[in-house]
Chain A
Amino acid sequence: MLQFTNICKRYPSGQEALANITFKMPTGSMAFLTGHSGAGKSTFLKLITVIEKSTRGQLIVNGVNVSRIARWRIPYLRRQIGVIFQDHQLLYDRTVFDNVALPLVIAGYRHREIGRRVRAALDKVSLLHKERAYPITLSGGEQQRVGIARAVVNKPALLLADEPTGNLDPELSREIMALFQAFNQVGVTVLVATHDIDLINTLPYPKLTLKNGCLAYNGFAEGRHYG
């Protein structure tokens, strides 16, 4: 699903965010991306969603060579990736339903199909009763679940989460992780960036650890088979 080959990312300011990253994440697996803040986790995810482009190396996402992707194809690649943000990135002038429906509207689904899929996604995150609410009226954990529903509503092949439990208490964090595990079990490749070591040490998934832009530990290279 993901294949990094000698990926380097240097910002115009001269700061080197990622250096020589090489690893392969199989389709259908789940993994954690860890590292202290500033280690390059965000840049790592931005390369996958083509928000940033690598300075050197080759990156293949779901069979597409992202390093040399044409500008107009980027939106279509992003539709195959569900992204969950620490700050949710919800639109506060729309209802929960409209927020979750957005990826389907963009992809061009029929009205009835949109309603069906949005309700199914909201049901999965146990927020079906809040579909008419505005995000601002929801708690942090609920807003994060809306974000998750929006990320999975289009049934993406790859799910990326950037510090999804950053602002949540341990109980809610475990619930969110359980959701990711559930998606992984139906075949979605899941990559979660987090610094919540206590939480991920309780879960049996490989870890990728970044240190000063280098891949200090590659859980996929340890000989064990995951996914």
Chain B
Amino acid sequence: MAEAQQQTGKPQLRTRIQAYGINHLHVFFSSLGRIWRAPFASLMTASVIGIALALPAGFYTLLQNLQQLSGGWDGAARISLYLHNNVSLSQAEKFAKQLNTTPQIEKVRVIDKDAALEEFKALSGFGDALDALDSNPLPMVIVVTPVVDTENPQRVENLVEELANRPEVELVQLDLQWVKRLYTIMNLVQRGLIVIAGMLALAVILVIGNTIRLDIQNRHSEIQVNKLIGATNAFIRRPFLYTGFWYGLFGGLTACVLVVTALSLLQGPAKRLAGLYDSGFRVVNLGFGNSILLIAIAILLGYLGSWLAVGRHLRDIEPG
């Protein structure tokens, strides 16, 4: 018996650690092989995951494009300061100079009464009627171009408030209502996108979980035998977790291909449209960093899905 005891001894720790690594490597590739041997079913699973992930990723990229576009329009936001009638031209110019040093202000232009009148005559078509007036009724105007912070549209409003409180200023007009509306809409879309992305992520987890569940059922007897001859739960879980990893990876790659293809199709027409508007706008595609992020998220979801399925179902399979 002494001899038998000695022979029974476990392999050394170093050997076991090495074997552990080799086992991981082996399971890593054998789970890939398993997916490979059922190409049709695997392709379907990967496509479902791919489409589910491509939707939020595609919308997100479109939204980024929209933000880039609206960023271009922000330059058009102008604040008109109508000064009191008693402010003289030199006072106005001094005031303008002072404003120019404010960091929130990009550009300042002073339109004096005469220039304003000329402009009004030229544009309004009331030229003759204005000639009948004794004095120039138009106030002096300072046109301020604010620095627009896309992240924080509130700052422009703060600036407007500040300018309205100046003694020289009689009236402030800000034509920024539509910008505000656009931001609100984009915020809404962004929020909606997060909700949709969350739901689709859940769908991905469920799809992978279900696939793994079927896989577990198919390998029921193998799991039983493994448990009987002393496999730890980690050992039994491993192939399924790697299967989830692979599904996530292939799903993520599919999603990337779908998004990049869809946006490439938009690129040509969008460029022509932008050309018609004299805009330098270009559709920005998913990009390398975001692609990697998308694939990483897909892998994480795949792993999570299989982890949930395995945790849920392995306990049910006991030898007996």
Tell me whether A80 and B229 are in contact (CB under 8 A).
no
Classify the interface of chain A: helix, strand, loop or mixed: loop
* Chain B neighbourhood of A80, CB < 8 A: 8
CA distance A15 to B228 in the complex (A): 25
The answer to whether A52 has its CB under 8 Å from any CB of chain B is yes
The answer to whether A124 has its CB under 8 Å from any CB of chain B is no
Tell me whether A91 and B19 are in contact (CB under 8 A).
no
Classify the interface of chain B: helix, strand, loop or mixed: helix
Tell me whether A108 and B4 are in contact (CB under 8 A).
no
Mask: chain A, 172-190; 1 = CB below 8 Å from B; 0 = not = 0000000000000011100
The answer to whether A79 has its CB under 8 Å from any CB of chain B is yes
A75 in contact with B19 given A89-B225, A186-B3 (CB within 8 Å): no
CA distance A102 to B230 in the complex (A): 10
* Chain A neighbourhood of B5, CB < 8 A: 157, 187
* Chain B neighbourhood of A49, CB < 8 A: 228, 319
Within 8 A of B (CB), among A56-72: 72
CA distance A93 to B5 in the complex (A): 33
CA distance A79 to B16 in the complex (A): 15
Within 8 A of B (CB), among A143-186: 150, 154-157, 186
Tell me whether B11 and A113 are in contact (CB under 8 A).
yes
* Chain B neighbourhood of A77, CB < 8 A: 230
- Candidates B7, B23, B228; contact of A155 at CB < 8 Å: B7
A64 to chain B, nearest CB (A): 13
| Closest residue of A by beta carbon distance from B229 | A103
A109 in contact with B230 given A52-B320, A155-B4, A187-B4 (CB within 8 Å): no
- Candidates A51, A76, A91, A155; contact of B230 at CB < 8 Å: A76
A106 in contact with B235 given A78-B229, A111-B22, A156-B8 (CB within 8 Å): yes
The answer to whether A224 has its CB under 8 Å from any CB of chain B is no
The answer to whether B135 has its CB under 8 Å from any CB of chain A is no
| Closest residue of B by beta carbon distance from A78 | B230
CA distance A15 to B136 in the complex (A): 109
Tell me whether A108 and B229 are in contact (CB under 8 A).
no
Within 8 A of A (CB), among B213-236: 221-222, 224-233, 235
* Chain A neighbourhood of B10, CB < 8 A: 107
- Candidates A46, A150, A156; contact of B320 at CB < 8 Å: A46
Tell me whether A91 and B22 are in contact (CB under 8 A).
no
Tell me whether A79 and B222 are in contact (CB under 8 A).
no
Tell me whether B7 and A89 are in contact (CB under 8 A).
no
The answer to whether B267 has its CB under 8 Å from any CB of chain A is no
The answer to whether B129 has its CB under 8 Å from any CB of chain A is no
Tell me whether B230 and A79 are in contact (CB under 8 A).
yes
Mask: chain A, 70-111; 1 = CB below 8 Å from B; 0 = not = 001001111110010000011101000000001101111111
A interface list, Cβ under 8 A from B:
27-28, 46, 49, 51-52, 72, 75-80, 83, 89-91, 93, 102-103, 105-111, 113, 150, 154-157, 186-188
Known A-B contacts: A75-B231, A105-B19. Give 9 more (CB < 8 A).
A28-B1, A51-B318, A72-B232, A75-B233, A76-B230, A78-B227, A154-B8, A157-B4, A187-B5
Question: Can you list 14 A-B pairs, Cβ within 8 angstroms, ordered by A?
Answer: A51-B319, A52-B320, A79-B230, A89-B221, A103-B229, A109-B15, A111-B19, A154-B229, A156-B8, A157-B5, A187-B2, A187-B3, A187-B5, A188-B4
B interface list, Cβ under 8 A from A:
1-5, 7-8, 10-11, 15-16, 18-20, 22-23, 221-222, 224-233, 235, 318-320
Pairs of residues from A and B, 10 with the lowest C-beta to C-beta distance, nearest first: A187-B4, A79-B230, A78-B230, A108-B16, A108-B19, A187-B1, A155-B7, A75-B232, A75-B230, A28-B1
